[in-house]
Amino acid sequence: MTSWPRAVWQSPWLRGLDGHARAQIESAGCMRSLARGAQVFAAGEPADAFFVVGEGLVDVRAVRRGDAQATAIRRAVAGDALGEEAIVRAGVARAGEATCATDVVVAEVPVAVFRRAAERAGAPQAAALEQALRRAAAGDVLRSSALARALSERDVEALLACTEHRSLTRGDVLFQQGEPATHAYVVADGMVQVQTEDDGRVQVRAYLARGDLVVDDAVDSGGPHEISVTACGPAWVLAIAREPILRVARRSPEAMRRARRLASSAPLPEATRHVLGDLWRFAVAGSMLVIDDEACVRCGHCAWSCAEAHGDGVSRLVRRGEKVTVRDTTDGSERALVIPGSCQHCKHPACMIECPTGAIGRDPRGQVFVREELCVGCGLCAKACPWGSVQMAPRKPDPGKRSPVLASAAPGAAPRHEPQSAAVAVKCDMCRDLDGGPACVNACPVDAIARVEPEAAMADVRKAVGGRAPRQGLPDQRVAWPWVAGAAVFAAAAARAPATTWGARLATGLLVGALFLALAGYMVVKRTRLVRGNGRSGVRPHTIAHLALGVAAMGVVAAHAGAKLPPNAAGALVVAFVLASLTGVAAALAYRLVPRALARVERHARLPEDLPGRARELDERAFGALTGRSDATKAVYGRLLAPYARAPLGWLLLVMRGATLRDEEKRLRGRVRRLLGPRAETLDGLDDMIRLVVERRAVAAQRVLQGTLRAWVPAHVVAVAAALVLLVVHVVIVARGR
Amino acid sequence: MSALPGRQVAPVEATSDVRRVRPLLVGAFAAAVAVAVVLLAVPAGRLTSPGPLARPHALAGVPCEGCHGDRADGPASGKGCVTCHAAHPSTRAGHRALAARGALGCPTCHTAHGGAQGVTFAPSGEALRWWSDAEQSLPGRGPPGATVALVPLTACARCHDASRPDDPVRACAGSGAAAAFAVCFDEHQLPEEPLPARGKCAHQHGPARFVAWEAAQAVASDPASHPPSTARARAPWLWVGSSMAAGGLAFAGAAVAQRSRRRRAREGLPPAAAPRRIRLPRIDAVRCLGCQACVDACPFDVLAVERHVAVVARPDECCGVGACQDACPNGSLRLTELGAPVGDRPRVDERLESLDARGVFVAGDLTGVPLIRNAILQGTAVADRAVASIPRAERVRRDDAKRVDLAIVGAGPAGLAAALRAEQLGASYVVLEQWTIAASVRAFPRGKIVHDPPIELPLEGALWLRESTKEELVAQWTRIVRAHRLDVREHHRVTGVSGSAGDFSVSADTPQGPRVLRASRVVLAIGRRGTPRPLEAAIAPAAATRVVHALSDARAFAGKSVLVVGLGDSAMEAVLALARQKGTTVTLSYRGAGFVRGRAHNIDQVQRLVASGRVRLLLESQVTHVDERWAVLRTPAGVEKVRVDAVLALLGGEPSRALLEAAGVRLEPV
C-alpha cells in the first residue's frame, strides 16, 4: 500500500506513522532518484520540506559563520534526514547545501503535510517525531555556527541535550535588559538586534544574523543582562543553557572569544532616522519603492495611476511612511527618502509563508504576487506583513466564478466548489501585467519615485548586510531648466515681433493652436501611460516638454494677439490663456520651491487628509503627557510651549527660518533654559513636550505647504478647459469670417 | 503556522491622491460648459466684433443690421453707411479706383469698431475727444456741433507704410499724441445728392468745416489726450471669470459631495442591534481552514486554533459582537444565540425591560453583555424605548424640578449614552451617579488602550473614539457631558427604587442629605462592578488608607512596594503597569494554584515578569493581616511577611443586588 522504501518509513523520523498518514505523505511528497554530484537542495533556498535518504550517501556542507568557504558538516546515510530546519520554521532559508556523494534515492516530505498528517491522525509519537527532527536541525545549526570551531562532536551532542528552539516574530523580545542571564543563544535564521534602552529611547548597538552567538558578560557572571535583544523579523534562535556553554568556553577560550561578535562599541549612527534603525526591512527588501522627499511634489499621481492600472480603484501604494536618510552607493551623496506604504517584495516574504492556500507566489525575478482565484480572503497575509503592505479589498464582483475548495479542508472528499470570498488580498505586483514597468514610477512627473534594491542602491545597507548585488545608485532627477530657459528666450523673441499682417497672424495663430493642443495633450499622455520608462526610473520628457512648450506658447500668443484685448471671443481666449499660464507658472514654481521646505518640516510623510487628525492627536498627547507632571512643567507648557504651538503665524516663521525640526527643538530648548536657568534640567518630560509642540507647529506648516503644492493644478485645469472651448469658438469664427 | 496575535488587517484606503481626480474632471467639465453657455448667451455680433462700437454710433443706437445687413457676424461692406451718411466718394483717384472695384469701402478707413475715434464740439463749442467706448473732455474750442472722424493709421496699413517718408499718408498724419491717426482734409467731396432733409448733417458741411478739421487736429494733438485706462474690454474677463468660478464651484462641490458620500457610506450602515443575549461562535470543523482570522479578530481570546481547526476556548469571555464571524473567510464560523438566557443576570424582555418590574430598564454590563461599545448601544436603545413607552400626555415638562421622565442610575458608558439620547429626544431626565462620571473606566490602568474592534461597526454616536486610551475616552466623555449640558449628578448614591411604571420614587443619598426624586421610568445602568469585593484580612486602622481597590495611575507608586491581591485581568494589568515604574517592588498574591482566567496576552506578560524576577508571584496565598508597614500572608510554605507601602485588592466586585432587589428586578435562576 505504500511505495516508498522501508528504509524511509523505518527511519527514526517517520517510524510509527500509521497507514493513513503514510498515504497522505506519499501523495503530497515525492521520491527522487539523484545521480552522484547532484544537489538535493542548495543554500539559501526557502525550506518547506525535509528529506529522508532512502539509499546512498549525501554530504551536507555549509559556510560557517566567519568563514569564506563551505565546510563539510556531516555525511547522511540511508535513514538519515536532511534539511530538517524546515520543521522549525516554514520558509526558513536553507543554511547549507546537500550534494549526493553516490547515486541516491531520497524522499521529500513536505513539512505542512507531515505535521498535519501526524497531528490529525492523532499519532502519539507526533510530538516525539517533531522533537527528533528539531534536535537534528539544531545540530546542523551548531555545526555551522560561529561556535563550531570550538566544538567537538561530543560537545555538540552535549549542547543539544540542553538546547531549546525559540521562534520569534518581528518585535519579539529574546531577553530584556535587567533580566537574569540564563541562556546563551545562537541565531539559526533571521536577524536579531542588540539594543540598549535609555528612558524608553531605543538605541540599536548591533545586528546579529545566522550563525552568530548572542552572549554578553552577564552569561559569564550570571548577573542581569545589560542589553536587550529583539527580533528584527521572523527569527529562529537556539537557546542553550548557560552551564554547558561556560564549560565549552573554559576549554577553548580563544575560539569562544572569536565567536563572541557582540559589538560593545558605540551605538550605530543616528539610529532613529537612519536606515540602520530598521535594517531588517532594508535587508530583506527585494525591490523597495522609495520617494525622493526633496523632489516629490505630492501630486499623488503615483497612487492614482496605481489604482488606474489595476482597474479596481484600489491603490496598492499609500504615499505615507517613514523618512530615512541614506547614502547612494555610486556617488556617496546623502538623500532623504520616504518609504511609502507599498510591497517591498521581500526575499522571504512573510505573506507568502503565512498564506494557507498558496495564493501568494514569488516569480523568478523576485516579484511577489497574489493569485486572486486562489485567495480566500482570510487576511493572514495582511497580518503577517510587518509593514502593512497587503490590504484586503472587496473582490470585483464576478458571481459566475467559483474557487476550488481546499484539499486540506476536506481530505479525501470529492472536489467541491465554493463561491469566491467577498474579500481578496491586494498588494503591489510591480504591474507585472503591463509592459514598461510599474505605473507609479512611470506616472511621476518629477522622477521622484523609483523602485530600488536597497542592497544595491543604499551604501549603508550594502555595508551592513555584505551585499553582493551589483551597485546601482538611486535615480537622479532629469534637469528641466535648460529647456525652460531656452523656451523663455524664444518666447521673449517672439513677443517682440508682433504679427501685423494677415499672413503672420494666420501663421502665429496656427502655431499657437498647435502648441495649445500639444499642451493639452499632456493631460492625455500622463494619464494613459503612452510614454513608458525603463522600469527603474521613470523617464519624464513629457513634463519637461509641457513646461517648455507652455513658456514658448506665451511668447507666440503675445505675438499673435498683440497688446490689445478685443471684447470678443478672441479676447476671451486671450484671457483664458493668460489665466491658464499664470496658474501653470505658479504650479511650476510651487513644484520647484515647496518640496524642499516641506521636507524640512516633516518627520514622517503624511497625506493632506491625515494632518487635521494629526494636529488633534498631538494636542491630546500633549495633554496626556502633562497629567501628573510637576507644576513647573505645567507652567512652562502654559506660558511658553502652548503659545508657541498655537501662534497663528508660527508656521510661517518656521518655514521662513528654513530650519529643520531638530534645530527648532534645540532653539526652543535654549529658550526654556534661558528662562529657567539650571532648573530647566530638573523638569521631567520637557524634551517630550518640546518635540510635541514643535511637531504641532510643523503640522500647520505642512498643511499650508501641501495646500500650496496642490491648489494650482485644479485652477490650471479649469482655466485650460475654458480656454479649449474658447479656442474652438475662435477658430470657427475666424474660419467663417474669411 | 505562527500565530499573529493582535495584528489588524490594513483596510483598503481611498486616499486623496486617488479621490482627487474626479472632482478635478468635474470642475474642468463645468468650466467648459459654463464658458460655452456664456458664449451662447452673448449676441453673435459681440463675439466677432473686433472692438467696441464707435461712440457716436453707440449713442445713436445704430443696430448691427444697420451696417452689416442681415448677417451680423461678417464684416460690413459699407453699403449701409450711405443710408444715413449719403455717399461721400473719395476725391483721390487711387481710392476711387479701389472703391469702384469694391476693394475699398467706408469701413476700410472708418473702422466702426475698436479703432474708431474722433472729436466732437459741443453746442457750446467745447471739445469732446472720443474713442470706441470712451470719451474725454479737453480744452480747445471749435465750430459748435461739428464732428470730425479721425482715421487710425492702422486702417491704412494694408496699403500704406507710414514709416516711409515718401508715403502720401505721412502728409495727413499728425504729430505727437496725434501720430497714430490721420485727418484727411481733402479726402471727401460733399455729398453728391442732397442729404435727406439736409437737417441733421447740414451744419457739418458748412464753410466752418475747415475750422473744425484744424480744431480737431489741435485737440487730438493735446498731450493730455489719451484713452482712459478703463477703456479696456471688460467683457472677456467677465465671460472667462464666470466660467472659472463655475469650474471652481463644481470642483469644490464634487469634492464635498464625495466626502459626504464617503461619510454616509461609513455611517449609513444599519444601526447595530443592541445585543441582548449571549451569542457564541459555532464552527464547522470540516470547512474551517485553520487560518486564524477569527482568532485574531477576537478581542478577548475566546477562540483558538487547535489541530488546524478553530475552537471556542473560553466561551465565558465572548462578547457576541461578531468580529470573528465577519473575519471568517469562508463562512465556516457562525454566531449562534444560546437558547436560554444565562443565569445570574436580570430577567429582561426583548426591549431590555425587566420582566418583573415594568418600567425599569436595564443596560450595560449589568445585562451580562460586556464591552463599552455594547454598553453604549444598549444605553441608546434603552433610552429610545423607555421614552417611547411613556404616553405623550404623561411626559414631564423639562422645567419640572420634582419629576423627570427618566431616572438614569449610573454614569458609565450606558448611562451617558442613555442621557445623550434622552437629551436628543427632548425628554426630561437625570443621571444619578454614586461616584464620578465613568468611575469604572477611570479605574482602568493608566494608558490602557480601550479596545477598538477590528471591524467597521456603525458609529454609536459621539461617545466612541476610534482607538483611544482610557484617559482620552474619559476626557472625551467629560467634554461631551459639559458640551451637551447633561444633567449628571455625581456623588448621588441611589439607595432604593419604589413605585410602579409612570410613578417611581428614586431615593438617593446626596451630599445634601437623602433626597427622593419621582420619575416615570428608571434605567439601571449600574454595571457589574458595583462595590469592590473587600479584602478579607485584619486591617489595622492606621493601614486602612493603604488598601485600595483601583489603580488609576501607576506612576504614583514609583519606588514603592506594592502587594497586588487577585489574578484577574484588572489585577494583571495593574501588575504590568506597576512593574514598568522605576524602583517599584511588586508582589502578587493569589488564592488559586495558577492562572485560570484572563487574557492570554496578559498572562504571557505577567509570566515573563515573574520569570525575570521583576514580580514575585505567591500562589495559594492568603493575606491575613495588614498593618502600616507589613502585610502578612499565609502561603503553603508557611507564614510570610511582605513589606508594603500599599495593598491593591483587585478581587472583582459584586453587582449591587440590594438595589436590584429594591427595584423589584429579579435575576435569572442560575
CB nearest to A624's CB, from B2, B47, B471: B471
In the predicted structure, residue B172 carries a pLDDT above the cut 50 = yes
B522 by DSSP, 3-state: which?
strand
Q: Residues A326-332: what's their mean pLDDT?
A: 84
Give residue-wise pLDDT tens across range A158-182.
888 888 888 887 778 888 888 888 8
Partner A contacted by B243 (CB < 8 A): yes
**Which residue do the cell numbers 459699407 mark?**
B78
Interface contacts A/B by beta carbons within 8 Å: 242
Q: Nearest to residue A597, comparing CAs of A706, A499, A736?
A: A706
Q: Residues A629-640: what's their mean pLDDT?
A: 84
In chain A, pLDDT over 90 holds for what percent of residues? 19
User: Are the beta carbons of B2 and A167 separated by less than 8 Å?
Assistant: yes
In the predicted structure, residue B51 carries a pLDDT above the cut 60 = yes
CB nearest to A179's CB, from B48, B75, B612: B612
CA distances from B504 to B226, B358, B427 (A): 92, 11, 16
Give residue-wise pLDDT tens across range A710-736.
999 999 999 999 999 999 999 998 887
Q: What is the distance between the alpha carbons of residues A429 and A389, in angstroms, rounded to a whole number?
A: 11
Q: Give the minimum alpha-carbon distance from B614 to chain A in angstroms, rounded to a whole number.
A: 8
DSSP lists the bridge partners of residue A335 as: A326
- Residue A267: band (very low, low, confident or very high) from pLDDT cuts 50, 70, 90: very low
Contact residues, chain A, for B601 at CB < 8 Å:
none
Q: What is the distance between the alpha carbons of residues A262 and A258, in angstroms, rounded to a whole number?
A: 10
User: Are the beta carbons of B31 and A390 separated by less than 8 Å?
Assistant: no
Rounded to 10 degrees, what is the CA torsion of A97, A101, A105, A107?
-20
The helix (H) or strand (E) run that includes residue B405 is strand B403-409
CB nearest to B2's CB, from A169, A382, A717: A169
Q: Residues A311-316: what's their mean pLDDT?
A: 85
User: Are the beta carbons of B247 and A624 separated by less than 8 Å?
Assistant: no
**Phi, psi dihedrals of residue A391, rounded to the nearest 5°:** -120, 155
**Which residue do the cell numbers 483601583 mark?**
B550
Task: Give the pLDDT score at B230.
Answer: 46
Q: What is the distance between the alpha carbons of residues B49 and A567, in angstroms, rounded to a whole number?
A: 7
In the predicted structure, residue B284 carries a pLDDT above the cut 90 = no
Cell numbers linked to A40: 538535493
Q: Residues B618-623: what's their mean pLDDT?
A: 87
In the predicted structure, residue B458 carries a pLDDT above the cut 50 = no
Give residue-wise pLDDT tens across range A215-225.
877 777 878 88
| B101 conformational bin, left if phi > 0, alpha if psi -120 to 50, beta if neither | alpha
B591 by DSSP, 3-state: which?
coil
- Residue A121: band (very low, low, confident or very high) from pLDDT cuts 50, 70, 90: low
- Residue A264: band (very low, low, confident or very high) from pLDDT cuts 50, 70, 90: very low
Q: At what angle do helices A610-626 and A686-737 cross, to 10 degrees?
A: 170
Q: Please, is B349 exposed, middle or buried when counting C-beta atoms within 10 Å of its C-beta (0-12, 13-18, 19+)? A: exposed
Q: Nearest to residue A434, comparing CAs of A308, A346, A339?
A: A308
Contact residues, chain B, for A624 at CB < 8 Å:
469, 471-472
Q: Nearest to residue B529, comparing CAs of B550, B508, B511?
A: B550
Partner A contacted by B559 (CB < 8 A): no
A364 versus A481: the higher-pLDDT residue is A481
User: Are the beta carbons of B472 and A394 separated by less than 8 Å?
Assistant: no
DSSP state of A372: T
Task: Give the pLDDT score at B639.
Answer: 87
In the predicted structure, residue B453 carries a pLDDT above the cut 50 = no
HSE-CB of B530 using CA atoms within 13 angstroms: 15
Give residue-wise pLDDT tens across range A663-697.
898 899 898 888 888 777 777 778 888 889 999 99
CB nearest to B39's CB, from A167, A300, A569: A569
The residue of chain A with its CA nearest to that of B243 is A722
Q: Give the minimum alpha-carbon distance from A273 to chain B in angstroms, rounded to a whole number.
A: 24
Integer distance in angstroms from the first to the last C-alpha of chain B? Answer: 40
Contact residues, chain B, for A390 at CB < 8 Å:
10
**What Rg value do the Cα atoms of chain B yield, rounded?**
47
- Residue B269: band (very low, low, confident or very high) from pLDDT cuts 50, 70, 90: very low
Residue B359 C-alpha from the chain's centroid: 39
In the predicted structure, residue B338 carries a pLDDT above the cut 50 = yes
A391 by DSSP, 3-state: which?
strand
CB B523 within 8 A of CB B407: yes
Residue ranges of A 405-444 with Cβ closer than 8 A to chain B: 406, 408-410, 418, 421, 423, 426
DSSP lists the bridge partners of residue B539 as: B626
User: Are the beta carbons of A722 and B27 separated by less than 8 Å?
Assistant: no
B173 versus A509: the higher-pLDDT residue is A509
Q: Give the minimum alpha-carbon distance from B40 to chain A in angstroms, rounded to a whole number.
A: 10
CB A174 within 8 A of CB A185: yes
Q: What is the distance between the alpha carbons of residues B653 and B634, in angstroms, rounded to a whole number?
A: 23
Partner A contacted by B39 (CB < 8 A): yes
User: Are the beta carbons of A567 and B75 separated by less than 8 Å?
Assistant: no
User: Are the beta carbons of B235 and A313 separated by less than 8 Å?
Assistant: no
Task: Give the pLDDT score at A483.
Answer: 93
Q: Maximum distance among all alpha carbons in chain B?
A: 142
User: Are the beta carbons of B51 and A719 separated by less than 8 Å?
Assistant: no
Whether the pTM exceeds 0.90: the reply is no
Q: Give the minimum alpha-carbon distance from B508 to chain A in angstroms, rounded to a whole number.
A: 33
Residue A561 C-alpha from the chain's centroid: 53
Contact residues, chain A, for B36 at CB < 8 Å:
725
Amino acid, res. B520: S
User: Are the beta carbons of B47 and A733 separated by less than 8 Å?
Assistant: yes
The residue of chain A with its CA nearest to that of B29 is A721
- Residue A415: band (very low, low, confident or very high) from pLDDT cuts 50, 70, 90: very low
Cell numbers linked to B257: 459631495
DSSP lists the bridge partners of residue B506 as: B497, B517
Q: What is the distance between the alpha carbons of residues B225 and B242, in angstroms, rounded to a whole number?
A: 34
Interface test with B, best of A179, A299, A378, A440 (most B CBs within 10 A): A378
Contact residues, chain B, for A608 at CB < 8 Å:
16
Task: Give the pLDDT score at A173.
Answer: 86
Q: Residues B420-438: what's their mean pLDDT?
A: 85
**What is the interface pTM, i.e. ipTM, of the complex?**
0.75
In chain B, pLDDT over 90 holds for what percent of residues? 4
CB B564 within 8 A of CB B589: yes
Task: Give the pLDDT score at B27.
Answer: 92
A675 versus A421: the higher-pLDDT residue is A675
CB nearest to A567's CB, from B20, B49, B244: B49
DSSP state of A637: I
Average pLDDT across chain B, whole number? 78
Listed range (A283-297, A480-494, B227-241) with the worst mean pLDDT: B227-241
DSSP state of B9: P
A198 versus A318: the higher-pLDDT residue is A318
Listed range (A204-213, B312-321, B358-367) with the worst mean pLDDT: B312-321
Q: Could you write out the DSSP letters of every residue in A488-516? A: HHHHHHHHHS---SHHHHHHHHHHHHHHH
HSE-CB of A537 using CA atoms within 13 angstroms: 14
Partner A contacted by B29 (CB < 8 A): yes
In the predicted structure, residue A260 carries a pLDDT above the cut 70 = no
User: Are the beta carbons of A565 and B157 separated by less than 8 Å?
Assistant: no
Contact residues, chain A, for B290 at CB < 8 Å:
356, 408
Listed range (B90-99, B196-205, B357-366) with the worst mean pLDDT: B196-205
DSSP state of A18: -
Average pLDDT across chain A, whole number? 82
Q: What is the distance between the alpha carbons of residues B406 and B424, in angstroms, rounded to a whole number?
A: 13
Q: What is the distance between the alpha carbons of residues B394 and B520, in angstroms, rounded to a whole number?
A: 8
Cα-Cα-Cα-Cα dihedral sign, residues A194, A198, A199, A204: negative
Contact residues, chain B, for A378 at CB < 8 Å:
289, 291-293, 327, 329
Cell numbers linked to B45: 455680433
Q: Residues B318-340: what's their mean pLDDT?
A: 73
CA distances from A450 to A296, A340, A391, B124, B400 (A): 11, 11, 21, 80, 70
- Pairing of the two strands B561-565 and B646-649: parallel
- Residue A547: band (very low, low, confident or very high) from pLDDT cuts 50, 70, 90: very high
User: Are the beta carbons of B330 and A418 separated by less than 8 Å?
Assistant: yes
HSE-CB of B635 using CA atoms within 13 angstroms: 15
3-state helix, strand, coil split of chain B in percent (to 5) is: 35, 20, 45
CB nearest to A721's CB, from B21, B247, B472: B247
CA distances from A621 to A321, A337, A615, B471 (A): 20, 27, 10, 10
3-state secondary structure B58-118: HHHCCCHHHHHCCCCCCCCCCCCHHHHHCCCCECCHHHHHHHHHCCCCHHHHCCCECCCEE
Task: Give the pLDDT score at B395.
Answer: 81
In the predicted structure, residue A93 carries a pLDDT above the cut 80 = no
Task: Give the pLDDT score at A265.
Answer: 41
**Which residue do the cell numbers 552551564 mark?**
A243
- Pairing of the two strands B513-524 and A368-370: unpaired
Give residue-wise pLDDT tens across range A572-601.
999 999 999 999 999 999 999 999 999 888
B521 versus B315: the higher-pLDDT residue is B521
CA distances from A629 to A256, B154, B550 (A): 49, 83, 21
- Residue B551: band (very low, low, confident or very high) from pLDDT cuts 50, 70, 90: confident
- Residue B352: band (very low, low, confident or very high) from pLDDT cuts 50, 70, 90: confident
In the predicted structure, residue B210 carries a pLDDT above the cut 50 = yes
Task: Give the pLDDT score at B167.
Answer: 82
B203 versus A525: the higher-pLDDT residue is A525
Listed range (A257-261, A472-476, B258-262, B416-420) with the worst mean pLDDT: A257-261
Give residue-wise pLDDT tens across range B226-256.
765 544 567 888 888 999 999 999 999 998 9
Q: Give the minimum alpha-carbon distance from A486 to chain B in angstroms, rounded to a whole number.
A: 30
Q: Nearest to residue A336, comparing CAs of A654, A713, A661, A651?
A: A661
| A12 conformational bin, left if phi > 0, alpha if psi -120 to 50, beta if neither | alpha
Q: Please, is A587 exposed, middle or buried when counting C-beta atoms within 10 Å of its C-beta (0-12, 13-18, 19+)? A: buried
- Residue B478: band (very low, low, confident or very high) from pLDDT cuts 50, 70, 90: confident
Q: Residues B480-488: what's their mean pLDDT?
A: 84
In chain A, pLDDT over 70 holds for what percent of residues? 89
Q: At what angle do helices A686-737 and A661-676 cross, to 10 degrees?
A: 140
Cell numbers linked to B585: 517592588
Task: Give the pLDDT score at A122.
Answer: 63
Interface test with A, best of B1, B7, B15 (most A CBs within 10 A): B15
Q: Nearest to residue A583, comparing CAs of A715, A726, A446, A721?
A: A715
DSSP state of A640: I
CB B371 within 8 A of CB B318: no
**Phi, psi dihedrals of residue A246, rounded to the nearest 5°:** -65, -35
Task: Give the pLDDT score at B231.
Answer: 45
The residue of chain B with its CA nearest to that of A176 is B612
Q: What is the distance between the alpha carbons of residues B154 and B116, in angstroms, rounded to a whole number?
A: 11
- Residue A541: band (very low, low, confident or very high) from pLDDT cuts 50, 70, 90: confident
